[in-house]
Amino acid sequence: MCTIPDEGQVIMQVLNSTNGRPIPSAPLQADFLAPECPPNSYTTVTMNTTLTNSTGYVTFGGEVGEWSLRVDGSAYSVSVTTLPGQIACVTLGVPSGETHIVYSGFLEPSCRFGF
């Protein structure tokens, strides 16, 4: 078995979509679908629940692949794919469920969060 050896990262901020303020300690669950070489398609890895920091941010990653992120115990979720050398900057609004995704590179990160 071989895997795709590259780096990708997801930086996510959870905001209150009513007032635009960050939501600290939001419990996030992540499923990572790691791409593998043919004939295998993906291996799914479920990460431990992670809490957002005091400014509503959390970082996932180190690998390229597909990420399914959700606020644990709720219907709020977003899916995003990271490519080699890419940062996915994700904003998730609660209670609206609105999402905003901007892609950036590792060498020139330019994440823009909010709506």
In order of 50, 59, 67, 68, the CA distances from 29 in angstroms are 7, 12, 10, 8
Asked: is 8-105 a CATH 3.30.70.1230 domain? The reply is no
Structure letter (DSSP) for residue 67: E
pLDDT computed for residue 73 by the predictor? 86
pLDDT computed for residue 107 by the predictor? 64
Pair 29, 47: CB distance under 8 Å:
yes
Pair 36, 42: CB distance under 8 Å:
yes
Q: Where are the domains of the chain?
A: 8-105
Q: Are strands 86-94 and 8-16 parallel, antiparallel or unpaired?
A: parallel
pLDDT computed for residue 2 by the predictor? 54
pLDDT computed for residue 39 by the predictor? 63
pLDDT computed for residue 24 by the predictor? 97
In the predicted model, residues of the chain with pLDDT beneath 70 are 1-6, 35-42, 107, 109
